[in-house]
Amino acid sequence: MEMIRVAWLLPLLALTACQGKPLPGAAAQSDMPKEWTFDFFTPKALPALVTFAAILDADGRDYRFNTLNSTPDLPMVMGEWNDRDRTPGGYWNHVNSPPRHIIFCWDSIIDKRVYETHLTIPKPILEKMRRPSEFKDYRGKTAYYDRVQIGLAPEGKVAVWLQGSGSEPNYRVTLSVLKTVSGDKLAICKGVTKSDFSYGYDKDIKDFIKGKKYPYGSW
């Protein structure tokens, strides 16, 4: 895994919560996942690219990702978020315990802007991720909420879900902290990307947004 794990925490990451201590009462279970994954996506034809992520997991471990899975668009996500569609997986985006605090840098191609997002998943949701789901997976086996989906939309809008088990809908998460900045307010994301957004839009993007009003939906 191309991941740098360090003993100190980004000062800005520390601002999103008090301390990165393990959650109390999180009893180990034999079938508990060995890792939790997180993936980013965008609505149809409104592209973005995540370029860096720093994560503090529920057990206080600190991770840095300079290489991440792709940031696909989901063809059925148009005009508004939904609780059905799921992101494809990948090799890079995984941590050893539920992700608690996340800072990530992303290039919004549709906005032609670099954004920096800080988010914190509340403790009750982390505890939910460590308990078996009431729903079984597609093979009829015990399932956990071990996948986090993060949607990225125009205007720097961000939304988060736990992926549902089996045919269960995804679970929308109300975050403890959600803050997105850009321009001269960038901190750790300043200079991370080399994109100057001079390329413009591909034809499929132009065709999709033609006649539509920005931000092309309600996010």
What digits encode the pLDDT tens for the residues 19-63? Answer: 445 555 444 455 789 999 999 999 999 999 999 999 999 999 999
Q: Please give the tally of structural domains in the chain.
A: 1
Tokens of 214: 């920005």
Residue 71 domain flag: yes
Residue 214 domain flag: no
* Euclidean distance between CA atoms 28 and 26, whole angstroms: 6
131 neighbors 32 (Cβ within 8 angstroms): no
Longest dimension (CA), the chain: 54
44 neighbors 73 (Cβ within 8 angstroms): yes
Residue 147 domain flag: yes
51 neighbors 192 (Cβ within 8 angstroms): yes
Neighbour-count burial of 155, counting CB atoms closer than 10 A to its CB (0-12 exposed, 13-18 middle, 19+ buried): middle
Range of the domain at 8: 3-209
Tokens of 196: 């100057």
Residue 179 domain flag: yes
Contacts of residue 26, Cβ cutoff 8 Å, sequence gap at least 6: 58, 127, 130
Return the bridge partners of 177, or none: 120
What's the chain's Rg over C-alpha atoms?
A: 17
Residue 165 domain flag: yes
Residue 219 domain flag: no
* Euclidean distance between CA atoms 27 and 113, whole angstroms: 43
Residue 75 domain flag: yes
Residue 150 domain flag: yes
pLDDT higher at 10 or 142:
142
184 neighbors 107 (Cβ within 8 angstroms): no
Local confidence band at 166 (pLDDT 50, 70, 90 cut-offs): confident
Quick: pLDDT tens for 96-116: 999 999 999 999 999 999 999
